[in-house]
Structure 1
C-alpha cells in the first residue's frame, strides 16, 4: 500500500532518548563532493573534497538528521574559500539545531609554476585541509597544507667528495588565526625555507639549477621545521601553528621526521 501525500511520517530521530547521554560528535564521514575553491589571487579552480561533518547532539534527543548534512553541502554551490568557510559551519549548527558543529575538508590544490631557467610552465599539486568548528565559545578555523619540497643532507655534503644525497620531503603546516591566511601564503613560506622547491616539469638547464641550488641550501629535517616555525612566529596573524616534515630518505628504507607545535 502506498503512502498518501498528506500522511505525516514520524520523525524517529526526534524521539526523547531515555539514556540521557549527550554526544559530542555525530554526523557523516568520507563524503566526496565536487566544489570550486578560491584562493589568494581570486582565481577559482574545480576540485573534489573529502568531507567529514559533525554536530553535537543533546542528551534528550535520539538522533540527528543525517540527510541535512548532504543538503547543506549541495546548497553551497558558490566557490569555497578560507574566508567563506565559516558560513557553511554556522549553517550546520542552524539546520541541525546544534550547539556545536565541525566541518573537515581535504582537497587537492594545484599551482601553475614556471621552471627557474627555461620558464616552462607546469602544474604542481598540494594537499589542503580546512577544519572549521563552531562552539558556544565562538568560531575557529584551522588551515593546513602539505607542501612537497627537496631536502639535501648537510652531513652528506660535509663528508662526501662527490656531492650529497637528497630526498623529497612532505612538509605539513597547520595554522589558526583571527585573520585570513591563504593557502598560497603557506605554500610560499614553506618553499622559501626548503633546500629547493619542486616543479612539475624541468628542462636540462632547470635541472642543473635546482640541483645546484639544493646543494647550496642543505637542511636536516630539524632545520626545516625550525626555519618554518621561525617564519610563523614572525607572522602576527598566526595564533597557533604546527609544522612537521617527513623526509623520504634516499639512502635508507625509512623516513626522517620532525614536528613543532606552538601557541603564540
Structure 2
C-alpha cells in the first residue's frame, strides 16, 4: 500500500514539470538524474526509504565517505554515486559522511582554526554540513539535505531552501548557532581527528572506506560502480534492486589531492 501511495504522489508531483521530464512515471525513480529532471527527488527518497527489506541477520555494508564540500570530485561522487546507491540499497548499507577532507587545523587560544583546500567558503560549508549531521542524527534525515546542498550552484546560500525541502523540522537558526558557536568548532575538530586517524592515511578525497577498509582496489571499484560493489559485498540475500542496472560510473582520476 505504501508503494502505491508513493507512486501516486510521484505521478501528481511530476505532472507540473512535464516540460523538463521526457520519461514515463515508471522511470522517474530509476536514476537520480531522471528524478531531478522530473522534479521528484524528495518523493523518490521517500519511496526507497519505505521499501520493505528482506529479513536477514547479515550485517549491512558500512560505507564511510571522507570528503570536502567544495571539491568537485567529492560532489560528483556524493550526488551521482553514493546518493542513488543509498536510495536503492539503504536496507543493506550504512553510510557515514565526514566533511573535512584535505583541511588543516591548529589550536589558537583554546579554539580550533581551520584552513581548507578551497578557501574559507569550504570551511564554512563543511561546518554547516557537520552541524546538520549532528542535529538530524540519522542518515535518512541528513543525507538528503547534504545532497541538496552539494548539488546546488552556490553552496553557501542554499541552507534555507534545502532544509525547507528535506528537513523542515530543523531551523536555519539552529544550524547557524551551531556553525558560529563552540559546537560547530568541536564537530569540525572531531572530523579532523577522525580523518587524520585513517589507516592508511588519505591521499586525496573523496576517500571511500568499505567495512572499515580502504585499498586502491576498493576505491577504484567504488568510484567506478559503487552500486555493484555494495551488492557484491553484502553477504545476505540480495535485494531486488541488485538485479538492476549500475549507477553511472565516475573516472578514478577525478579526485582532490591532499
Q: TM-score range by the shorter chain?
A: under 0.3
State the structure with bigger RCO (CA 8 A, min sep 6), 1 or 2.
2
TM-score by length of 1: 0.27
- Please identify which structure carries the higher strand content: 1
Point out the structure with the larger helix share.
2
What TM-score comes out, normalization by structure 2 length?
0.28
